[in-house]
Structure 1
Amino acid sequence: MFKYLFCFVSTAFCFAQQNWNTTFENGNGNQSATYEECIAFYKKLDAAFETITFQEMGITDSGKPLHLILFSAAKNFDYTKQKAKILINNGIHPGEPDGIDATMILFRDLALQKIAIPKNTLVAAIPVYNIDGMLNRNSYSRANQNGPEAYGFRGNGRNYDLNRDFIKSDTRNSRSFQALFHLVQPDVFLDNHVSNGADYQYTFTCIATQHERLGEKLGNFFKNEMYPEMVKDMQKKKIDVIPYVNIHGAKPDLGYEQFTDTPRYATGYTTLFNTLGFVPETHMLKPYKDRVKTTYEFMVTAINYTDTNWEKIKQVRKANLEEYKVGNQYPLHWEIDSTKVSYIDFKGYEGGYKPSELSGKDRLFYDRNKPFTKKIPFYGNYKPTKFVTIPKYYVVPQSQWQIIELLKLNAIEMTPITQNESFEVEIYTIATYQTGKNAYEGHYGHYNTTVTKNIEKMEFRAGDYKISTNQLGIKYLLETLEPEAVDSYFNWNFFDTILQQKEGYSSYVFEDVAKQILEENPTLKQEFETKKQTDKAFAENGNDQLYWVYKHSKYFEKEFMRYPVYRVLE
């Protein structure tokens, strides 16, 4: 017995005495781990410590699997039996590798108990999300960034920016993330980044997710309790935290706005499931070693807060769902509320404009020899500008299999219709929309979409799906299935086939039919004649007149512009 005890103790001692330095720590503070070094390091931790496990979690566009590293003080990796869970994402933009190196150090320190060990929280992290972007290693693609010496590329192997793909899921990375996310079901989520934009004194900025999107109860807790306490903890470490400076090509002296993270972004997506989200954004011009340190410290702060306050977090997350009941109004659009402004003691640099030595035109510059602290306005509140009434359930025909797959991937509960049946539904017709003129992440997306509505009895087939809104994913349903939502499936082009007519007519044949239609419908004929009298362009265009009759006839295809997802009201 003593022999085995000695072996166990000596083995643990040997593990503690091994060289557990990371690539970053072995260098001069300006080196970042390669993909191979990162994965090998986590495998080494997994082999050495029972509190660590390293798992493959699904395929990515690179052909390599997404990985998940877990730490549990109790050596319990059952996701369903945790008091709290925090998920950290790294390398979504591999040219911003601060989180990759900081998280390697974090898990090493947790394993070796070099920092306070969370007793109530399972700590999970994705070592590298954009794997092929990290494999595309270079030293030049981040032209404005101060180190490290080599890093990955922003786009993945198919040149997608993965931080625009969470709702549309064009990539395998996104689909594997969503499966992983719903398996872990984290209470808190961090997505580590490096900023672009203005120059200032801070090493660390942060996008605290738009609290209004979380809901009233959870949003108020996030804004008024959780985030301020975390900022105070960082300040105790002599690290200032400032809201992400969302300024490009101008000085921040006049103030700036809270970044709005719609569901295309990581934290905009996780917000849909009541997860409290942060995007740490270290400043691109600060030394790499300082950026890694501040990223590390924020992760420790987030873990410690979650571990201490897990009961309150669970309570508020659960209570927040009560806001989203059938018949309630749900906000689809937001805009900055300029009536609500706070003031930040902003630490910046004097700057201005001077002639460019390249073009002779005015260029922006900052003078780091002239630091200042001044109060500037910060607009951190949004107000809703468009609402939709929450339906009892949606009906999605089985023909929309692409949509159904994404809903299933996001743990949406659906009930298949068992036999053909008819019932009343609210039907949307796309009234207006605009389409982007430039390609954006593989799409020419729509915006400013509006709909008209009518109630109609429709027949649905066995195998079509009824989807209740009384479920955890209610906000996901509303943000994807309501076509007027900013990042709806409609606006991401999933339903573009309804925007094109499939049938038509030969004018020389339909002329006689149109005449008969008007003769048999006096009311329609009167409307037709009135339009000719009041609309000069219409009166002078025979083709428009013929099409008008066609559009108001039984021959006009009902599928054109009709949105093929239906709502059942209470």
Structure 2
Amino acid sequence: MSLGIVLLSATLNLNSHLPPLQPWQGASLSLMQQDGPLTTDFELSAGEESPNYEQTNAFIMRLVAANPTQFKSITIGKSGQGRDINMMLAVEDSQFSPAMMTNNKKPTILIQAGIHAGEIDGKDAMFMLLRDIATGKRRDILSKVNILFIPILNVDGHERNSQFNRINQRGPVTMGFRTNAKNLNLNRDYTKLDTPGVRAVMEVINDFKPSLYVDVHVTDGADYQYDITYGFNPSFASDSPAIAKVLEEQFSPIIDDKLSQQGHIPGPLIFVMNKRNLKQGLAGWVASPRFSNGWGDIKGLPTILVENHSLKPYKQRVLGTYVFIDGVIDALSKQHKALHKAIETEKHNYPTELIVERSYSQSPAYISFKGIKYKQFDSALSGHQEVKYLGEPVEYEKLPVFWQKEVKAKVKVPNAFYIPPQYSKLVQKLSLHGVEVEVVSNAMEESSGLTQLKVSSYEFAKQPFEGRFRVNAQFEELQLSESPVTEGWYKVSTQQPYSELVTHLLHPVAPDSFFAWGDFLEIFQRTEYVENYALEPYARKMLKESPKLALAFDKRISEDSVFAKSDEQRLEWLYEKTPYYDQAYLKYPILMSYQSK
């Protein structure tokens, strides 16, 4: 029995719990080779397997050896467990340095696979494409673009491999794990930057300045006919609408046409409102900056999120990814001037207000949708009505889509933020984000019109999320009569290319700000206390000298019975009014200026 037959048998057994498949014989099957130079591990397994970390690196070296004038491999970082995170560079004429790639008049595309290591389609698709470049079959590609390719971003998760990592995914037979060795999800890390993988990506973007960023994933969720779905924040809910319009109007038609010609069914980025009843509609997700595509949208870096359909066979998904990337490269080579113009437009957009959080609209739009027939049944196991997909195509002429476009939180954008020197680690993160930070050298110039936010109420998350205890807070504004800014503070202007990103990171109301991720937990603790024997006589004297304060105290007692009966609350109220109370307690230490300097 051949290896391919053994693997196929194992796959069938592993997938016996999944819905029935539709037959597929796309033209892209011709892209595979069974032998010959640089045949990939994926091809040798008849499209069932993906190579492990060691085999992946060995194939990278084979590619470089076969085409050293156009291919190079570099290490961009190390994982938590000490593995190299490697990236391939593919250029036409040995122009491998960032400066040379930036100046060779070709757009650069950054393609990333394995941020979720079980969703590894992009690695095997790109190995085939690079092989075709190396062997001369697709020498046209490097005449169009420069390529940066990260085969496995989450290398530690990739080596936590098993046949049982994703219950709703057809292949590869052995696949990696979603999170890294510290159980952190790299695609929730684009603002807080806790993982070495995402920090490495930031450095690549800063150095090579790609024109387009592609992040390849595999879906969860419902069954449908589309095998390759992809998307980006739509122009009507984008922080970079000029870029989104170019992607919508000038990229998508080229990509979709290429996929359709090769026997694939391209579709929109799919999420459902109710996984037990698709007819209730689709969720039109607008990514926040914790995600690659949300971060790219806010930064003004064109970013496409690919979500291949998990229920389609691995071979079909990988071949679809090859065709997708070929289409993206074609679109980028034809439309890079329009895209560059849109990028420059967004770099010079300095909004005075910014939407930082959205909710789903109650009023849907409607689209035609290529679904899969299903039935609902009462499950004795869950005690609930569940779904069984039947494998038969069904067309929905008008399926509702509820877009996440309603404004939930909006903030006024300061002209600048001021960071005290004790928070220099945040400055390091800002630099990784590509944000310009200057050190205050003349404090007199920054001495007026500063605003500080004080937490008026707050709630910590009940359990950790991505290694953090997140916090949600409400704030009151305090206008400072005297500026605490001195030489050595840091100033972050919002009048810079990444204005929106600055505000999302530093304004504490933003749900993916440093504050919301728990980088300022120290302001929630008090470290000086009071003894009642000292407070009671001091407070009595204070009330005697201030009739207004005494009236406020009496009013609180008369109007709040709980307060009136609580000795702790009464004395705490009085302590807050003394000059001994901690004046930094609950105050957000990053200051804001709404005046142009």
Mapping of 1:189-200 within 5 angstroms? Answer: 189-200=213-224
Deviations 1:51-84 (Å, cap 9, x if unpaired)?
A: 1121111222231222111211243232431441
Identify which of 430, 443, 455 aligns with 2:479. 455
Mapping of 1:484-495 within 5 angstroms? Answer: 484-495=509-520
Matched residue of 2:584: which SS? coil
Q: Which amino acid aligns with 1:514?
A: A
- The CA deviation at 1:431 is 2.1
Equivalent pair of 1:103/1:296 in contact (CA under 8 Å):
yes
Q: Which amino acid aligns with 1:505?
A: V
Q: Which amino acid aligns with 1:60?
A: S
Query: What TM-score comes out, normalization by structure 1 length?
Result: 0.91
Matched with 2:90 is 71
Q: Which amino acid aligns with 2:458?
A: Y
The yes-or-no answer on 1:569 pairing with 2:594 is yes
Deviations 1:442-477 (Å, cap 9, x if unpaired)?
A: 112123x32211221222232211122222222221
- The CA deviation at 1:420 is 5.5
Mapping of 1:72-221 within 5 angstroms? Answer: 72-77=91-96, 78-81=100-103, 82-115=105-138, 116-211=140-235, 212-221=237-246
Change (3 A) 1:359 1:80: closer
Equivalent pair of 1:246/1:258 in contact (CA under 8 Å):
yes
Change (3 A) 1:306 1:338: farther
Matched with 2:542 is 517
- The CA deviation at 1:423 is 1.0
Distance in 1 separating the partners of 2:575 and 2:306 = 57
Distance in 2 separating the partners of 1:369 and 1:213 = 36
Matched with 1:301 is 327
User: Which deviates more, 468-477 or 300-309?
Assistant: 468-477
Change (3 A) 1:402 1:335: same
Matched with 1:417 is 440
Matched with 1:362 is 385
- The CA deviation at 1:481 is 0.4
- The CA deviation at 1:142 is 1.1
Distance in 2 separating the partners of 1:432 and 1:228 = 49
Matched with 1:34 is 52
Gaps of 5+ in 2: 1-34
Change (3 A) 1:569 1:359: closer
Change (3 A) 1:144 1:385: closer
- The CA deviation at 1:22 is 0.5
Matched with 1:58 is 77
User: Which deviates more, 511-520 or 55-64?
Assistant: 55-64
Equivalent pair of 2:366/2:398 in contact (CA under 8 Å):
no
Distance in 2 separating the partners of 1:120 and 1:214 = 28
What count of residue pairs does the alignment treat as equivalent?
Answer: 550
Change (3 A) 1:251 1:184: farther
Identify which of 294, 299, 304 aligns with 1:278. 304
- The CA deviation at 1:198 is 0.9
Deviations 1:378-407 (Å, cap 9, x if unpaired)?
A: 234614333222222111111012212211
Matched residue of 1:323: which SS? coil
Deviations 1:172-223 (Å, cap 9, x if unpaired)?
A: 2222221112112222111111111111222122232344333332233333
- The CA deviation at 1:435 is 2.1
Equivalent pair of 2:283/2:402 in contact (CA under 8 Å):
yes
Deviations 1:481-500 (Å, cap 9, x if unpaired)?
A: 00010101111000011011
Matched residue of 1:400: which SS? helix
Change (3 A) 1:472 1:359: closer
Matched with 2:10 is none
Q: Which amino acid aligns with 1:69?
A: M
Change (3 A) 1:552 1:83: farther
Mapping of 1:225-264 within 5 angstroms? Answer: 225-247=250-272, 249-264=275-290
User: Which deviates more, 195-204 or 453-462?
Assistant: 453-462
Change (3 A) 1:339 1:375: closer
Equivalent pair of 1:217/1:320 in contact (CA under 8 Å):
yes
- The CA deviation at 1:510 is 0.4
The yes-or-no answer on 1:444 pairing with 2:472 is no
Equivalent pair of 2:358/2:404 in contact (CA under 8 Å):
no
Q: Which amino acid aligns with 2:131?
A: R
Identify which of 453, 456, 459 aligns with 1:431. 456
Distance in 2 separating the partners of 1:361 and 1:410 = 45
Distance in 1 separating the partners of 2:587 and 2:406 = 30
Matched residue of 1:68: which SS? strand
Equivalent pair of 1:83/1:121 in contact (CA under 8 Å):
yes
Equivalent pair of 1:69/1:125 in contact (CA under 8 Å):
yes
- The CA deviation at 1:372 is 4.4
Matched residue of 1:214: which SS? coil
User: Which deviates more, 430-439 or 281-290?
Assistant: 430-439
- The CA deviation at 1:373 is 4.5
Q: Which amino acid aligns with 1:566?
A: L
Matched with 2:337 is 311
- The CA deviation at 1:563 is 0.3
Equivalent pair of 2:231/2:304 in contact (CA under 8 Å):
yes
- The CA deviation at 1:228 is 4.1
Q: Which amino acid aligns with 2:503?
A: L
Distance in 1 separating the partners of 2:585 and 2:287 = 33
Q: Which amino acid aligns with 2:228?
A: F
Equivalent pair of 1:499/1:561 in contact (CA under 8 Å):
yes
Gaps of 5+ in 1: 1-16
Distance in 1 separating the partners of 2:572 and 2:209 = 53
Distance in 2 separating the partners of 1:361 and 1:323 = 50
- The CA deviation at 1:338 is 4.1
- The CA deviation at 1:340 is 5.8
Distance in 2 separating the partners of 1:100 and 1:270 = 21
The yes-or-no answer on 1:533 pairing with 2:576 is no
Equivalent pair of 1:164/1:264 in contact (CA under 8 Å):
yes
Query: What TM-score comes out, normalization by structure 2 length?
Result: 0.87
Matched with 1:556 is 581
- The CA deviation at 1:290 is 0.2
Distance in 1 separating the partners of 2:257 and 2:551 = 72
Matched residue of 1:554: which SS? coil
Distance in 2 separating the partners of 1:253 and 1:360 = 21
- The CA deviation at 1:542 is 2.5
Equivalent pair of 1:167/1:263 in contact (CA under 8 Å):
yes
- The CA deviation at 1:371 is 4.1
- The CA deviation at 1:313 is 0.6
Equivalent pair of 1:60/1:176 in contact (CA under 8 Å):
no
Equivalent pair of 1:341/1:378 in contact (CA under 8 Å):
yes
Deviations 1:488-545 (Å, cap 9, x if unpaired)?
A: 1111000011011121211222011111111122222222222222222222222212
User: Which deviates more, 316-325 or 350-359?
Assistant: 350-359
- The CA deviation at 1:124 is 1.0
Distance in 1 separating the partners of 2:502 and 2:451 = 16
Identify which of 413, 420, 426 aligns with 1:397. 420
Change (3 A) 1:381 1:531: closer
Change (3 A) 1:402 1:441: same
Matched residue of 1:538: which SS? helix
Q: Which amino acid aligns with 1:123?
A: I
Distance in 1 separating the partners of 2:363 and 2:545 = 58
Matched with 1:8 is none
